[in-house]
Amino acid sequence: MNLIDIGANLTHESFRHDFDDMLLRASHQGVSRLVVTGASLQGSIDALALARGRPGVLYATAGVHPHHAVDYDDATDLQLRELATQAEVVAVGETGLDYHRNYSPRDVQLAVFERQLAIAVDLHMPVFLHQRDAHDDFIALLRTVRDRLPAAVVHCFTDDGVALRHYLDLDCHIGMTGWICDERRGTHLRELVKLIPADRLMLETDSPYLLPRTVKPAPSHRRNEPMFLKHICEEVARDRGEDALAVAAASTRTAELFFGLERLG
C-alpha cells in the first residue's frame, strides 16, 4: 500500500520527542509521503524546514488557520507570499473559516481568508481549505475566486450532503480524515464518501488530532499519527465497496496530481 497523508500537523510539539520514529512507523504502514500543514506563520516556517530536511518525503503548506486570523497583518501576508514561492511548499493554507469556536472575529476571518486566496491566485497555487460551521460564507467567497484557482481541497470534510454537492460542483477536492471512522458522529460520511469521484478524493490523518476510532487498541496517549492513515483508507474502501489497495492507489495518484508532487521527484 502506497499512501500520501495530505494533512499532518507534524510541527506539533507532541511529535518532537520521536519525530524520526514516527516517520519510520508511517513508512512501514505504507505512508511514503506527507504534506505538513502550515496553520500559522511560524508553523508554516517550521513546516518548510521539516520538508527541506526530508526531500521527496515531506512537503509543506503555508497559511494561517482561521483561529489565528487576528494575528494576520501586512507583514504576515508578505512572508506567506515568500514562503509560498519555495519549491517544497505545495499549497496555500490552511486557510478558511471556523465559526465553531470563533477564536477570531468572523469579519477578520473573512478578510484573512480572502487575502490568502489572493496569494494562491497570484502565484497560481492550489489551496488547502478549512471550513467548520461556516459553509454559507465560505462557499460564497470561494465561488468568487474558484475559476482563478488551479485546485482547491476542502480538508477534513465533516459536513452534510448539500455542502458536498456545492464543493463538487465547484470542482473541489475533498480530504477525508478519521472522522469517517467514528461510529458516533461520522456515519453520514460513510454514505457521502460514495459520491466523491476517485479523482477528487484524498486521505489525511490531521495528526495529532482525530485518532481513528477503528484503531484498536487505542494508544494510551490518544495521539494520532500518520501510520494510522491505513485505517482511514480501509474505512473509505469499505464504505465505497472497493478494494483498499485500489483506494490507496487512486487517492495517491489524485494527491500527486493535486499537489504537483512529481515535479519535485
Footprint of Zn ion (CB under 5 A): 130
Question: Is 203 or 237 the residue whose CB approaches Zn ion more closely?
Answer: 203
Question: Is 130 or 146 the residue whose CB approaches Zn ion more closely?
Answer: 130
State the minimum distance, in angstroms, from the CB of residue 56 to Zn ion: 25
Question: Is 139 or 237 the residue whose CB approaches Zn ion more closely?
Answer: 139
Instruction: Report the C-alpha gap between 174 and 109 in whole angstroms.
Output: 22
Instruction: Report the C-alpha gap between 258 and 198 in whole angstroms.
Output: 13
State the minimum distance, in angstroms, from the CB of residue 55 to Zn ion: 26
State the minimum distance, in angstroms, from the CB of residue 42 to Zn ion: 17
Instruction: Report the C-alpha gap between 174 and 38 in whole angstroms.
Output: 18
Sign, CA dihedral 234-239-244-249, equals: negative
State the minimum distance, in angstroms, from the CB of residue 207 to Zn ion: 12
Let me know the angle formed at the C-alpha of 169 by 163 and 175, rounded to the nearest 5 degrees: 60
Question: Is 130 or 135 the residue whose CB approaches Zn ion more closely?
Answer: 130
CA max distance for the chain: 49
Question: Is 1 or 108 the residue whose CB approaches Zn ion more closely?
Answer: 108
State the minimum distance, in angstroms, from the CB of residue 94 to Zn ion: 5
Contact 80, 41 (CB under 8 A): yes
State the minimum distance, in angstroms, from the CB of residue 96 to Zn ion: 7
Closest residue to Zn ion, judged by C-beta, is 130
Return the C-alpha cell found at 160.
452534510
Question: Is 153 or 237 the residue whose CB approaches Zn ion more closely?
Answer: 153
Question: Is 130 or 166 the residue whose CB approaches Zn ion more closely?
Answer: 130
State the minimum distance, in angstroms, from the CB of residue 66 to Zn ion: 9
